[in-house]
Amino acid sequence: MESQEKIKIRVCQGTTCFVMGASRLEGLETQIPPQWRQKVEISAQPCLGMCQKAGFMKAPFVRIGDEIIGSATVDSVLEKLSGIFK
Amino acid sequence: MIEDEAVFIDIGTAQQKKNGQNAYGDFIASKRYPEECRLIAVLSDGLGSGIKANILANMTATMLLKFAAAERNLIRAAETVMNALPVCQVRKISYSTFSVADCFEDGTVRIVEEGNPEFLHLHNGKVVAHECERIASQKFPERSMRTYVLHLEKDDRLLFCSDGVTQSGLGGSLYKLGWRREGLIDFVESRLASDPVLSCRRLAQEVVGEALTKEPDRLAKDDISCMVLHLREPRSLVVFTGPPYDSNRDAEYVGLFMRYPGKKVICGGTTANVVARELNREITTERFVKGSLPAGSRMDGVDLITEGVLTLSKAVEYLEDDPAVLPDDAAGRLVGLFLDSDEITFMVGAKVNQAHFDPDLPLELELRKNIVRRMERLLTQKYVKQVLLRFI
């Protein structure tokens, strides 16, 4: 099923996430398969505030829709998206 | 007298060496005392030119600056220096002449001049004349000081120069008696009429440039120096970095931040979120990375939003290295705002983010408080800014 609303992907650019590798997620935009590009909206966020409450999860954090993923990499974000778009 | 109004004493100087010399024979020195809302500036002209004059002028100006700061009574300090300066054994004339201005932000200025051309006081772009009190040296009959106590208003300027300015062109075919004070006044008044917001630095540069054009072949026959002081509206900047210790007071501090006059900067993602939440405004971030730092973000009513400790640390680096061109990253933009401001207030939130001390982090993050303190030292000592730290 195709949703009209774009899925919001927010990459945390807080200090902890940045040093833990959020800067590498910049490549996400170019690595997203063409068929998904119109369905998502990617942007950075000053801080998602997750490092202080995420429990066992680790920075960098990315929010996909309402879901938070920790230790995010381009691959883990794409994997999550494939779950959503399957 | 200026009351209940914020004022900043700006200073701008320009100098030209005597043709053929490799050192300035005039010396300009100034020091700011932020806690006393005071600035002391000295212009000294050493006898002769080149290295010898430079040493004499430097010594005179440095002594005056130190004495004036230590002694509340400027006239006594200047008198001490006037009596202490030796006489050249060859020419039997004074070693150096000087002008010293002790300025307070309430507009009170004490001026003492010995030997230098009389200063210009510019009010609404026009020169205002002042009566002086003369104090003769007890030791040297040919020396006397002119002393003045002025009460300036906001936007008033004071212009000091060495005799290289007023005597420029002397003996030439066009200016037999030199440019003289009258010529200088005409020039300064017409420049301020066409550009009332002319900066101190620019005005000083233009006076020196104009004096040089009066000289035959544009070759300075004497050292030419100009120093301009301007009592103007301060340019303020407030930097909000770190969330307040007591989150119940977030709204109060955000209100304080937004009411602050001047430019506004937020350094820190969590801090930006606190401000956005309290004001119900949206933060927009387009790019991820700019240079080696997270890119800046935007919010209505705030001039710059950056990440916290990494950007602040980088900004300290830029302030230390003082690059000719600031890099186009968030720290470079922050330093640019610092350099354009006279008064900088830091609102430093005391809440510590435990995640910054996670041993898994690939680098050690410094405490925000320590970075800001280093920044404060650099801004006050190296860049002569007025800095206020508020830990909240």
Per residue of chain B (392 residues), what is the pLDDT tens digit? 777 778 889 898 999 999 999 999 999 999 988 888 899 999 999 988 899 899 989 999 999 999 888 877 888 888 888 888 877 777 777 678 899 999 999 999 999 999 899 999 999 999 999 999 998 888 877 788 999 999 999 999 999 999 999 999 988 888 888 999 999 999 999 999 999 988 888 899 999 999 999 998 889 999 999 999 999 988 899 999 999 999 999 999 999 999 998 999 999 999 999 999 999 999 998 677 888 899 999 999 999 999 999 999 999 999 999 887 889 999 999 998 998 888 999 999 998 888 888 888 888 888 899 999 999 999 988 887 889 999 99
* B47, two tokens: 């006898």
Question: Residues of A with CB below 8 A from B287's CB?
Answer: 26, 44
- Each domain of chain B, given as residue ranges in start order, spans 8-232, 236-391
- Number of Cβ within 10 Å of residue B21's Cβ equals 17
Alpha carbons B257 and B265: distance in angstroms, whole number: 9
B58: nearest Cα among B87, B88, B23: B23
Q: Are B348 and B309 contacting, i.e. CB atoms less than 8 angstroms apart?
A: no
Nearest chain B residue to A18 by CA distance is B294
Confidence class of residue A4 from pLDDT cuts 50, 70 and 90? low
Q: Which of B270, B287, B310 sits opposite A18 (nearest CB)?
A: B310
Q: State the residue range of the domain holding A12.
A: 7-85
Contact A15 B289 (CB under 8 A): no
This complex has an ipTM of 0.87
CATH code of the domain containing A58: 3.40.30.10
Alpha carbons B258 and B117: distance in angstroms, whole number: 47
Our CA-based measurement puts residue B289 at a distance from the nearest CA of chain A, in whole angstroms, of 6
Residue-level pLDDT at B386: 86
* Furthest-apart CA atoms within chain B: distance in Å: 78
Q: Which of B287, B288, B355 sits opposite A52 (nearest CB)?
A: B355
Q: What Rg value do the Cα atoms of chain B yield, rounded?
A: 25
Is A2 a member of any domain?
no
Q: Are B240 and B347 contacting, i.e. CB atoms less than 8 angstroms apart?
A: yes
DSSP B167-226: TTTTTSSS-TT-SHHHHHHHHHHHHHHH-TT--HHHHHHHHHHHHHHHSGGG--SS-EEE
Question: Residues of A with CB below 8 A from B308's CB?
Answer: 14-15
Alpha carbons B165 and B18: distance in angstroms, whole number: 12
Q: Are B206 and B200 contacting, i.e. CB atoms less than 8 angstroms apart?
A: no
- Strands of the sheet containing A40-45, edge to edge, are A40-45, A7-12, A62-64, A67-69
- Number of Cβ within 10 Å of residue B292's Cβ equals 12
Alpha carbons B361 and A59: distance in angstroms, whole number: 9
Selecting from 3.30.470.20, 3.40.470.10, 3.60.40.10, 3.30.420.60, what CATH number does the domain B8-232 have? 3.60.40.10
Q: Are B161 and B43 contacting, i.e. CB atoms less than 8 angstroms apart?
A: yes
Query: Partners of B28 in the beta sheet?
Result: B43
- Number of Cβ within 10 Å of residue B255's Cβ equals 12
Alpha carbons B283 and B289: distance in angstroms, whole number: 16
Alpha carbons B167 and B391: distance in angstroms, whole number: 54
Residue-level pLDDT at A5: 82
Residue-level pLDDT at B128: 96
Q: Please, is B321 exposed, middle or buried when counting C-beta atoms within 10 Å of its C-beta (0-12, 13-18, 19+)? A: exposed
Q: Tell me which DSSP letter residue B85 carries.
A: S
Q: Strand B224-232 to strand B8-16: parallel, antiparallel, or no bridges (unpaired)?
A: antiparallel
Our CA-based measurement puts residue B27 at a distance from the nearest CA of chain A, in whole angstroms, of 47
pLDDT digits (tens, 9 = 90+) for A21-55: 888 888 888 888 888 888 899 989 899 988 877 67
Domain count, chain A: 1
From the centroid of its chain, how far is CA B26? 19
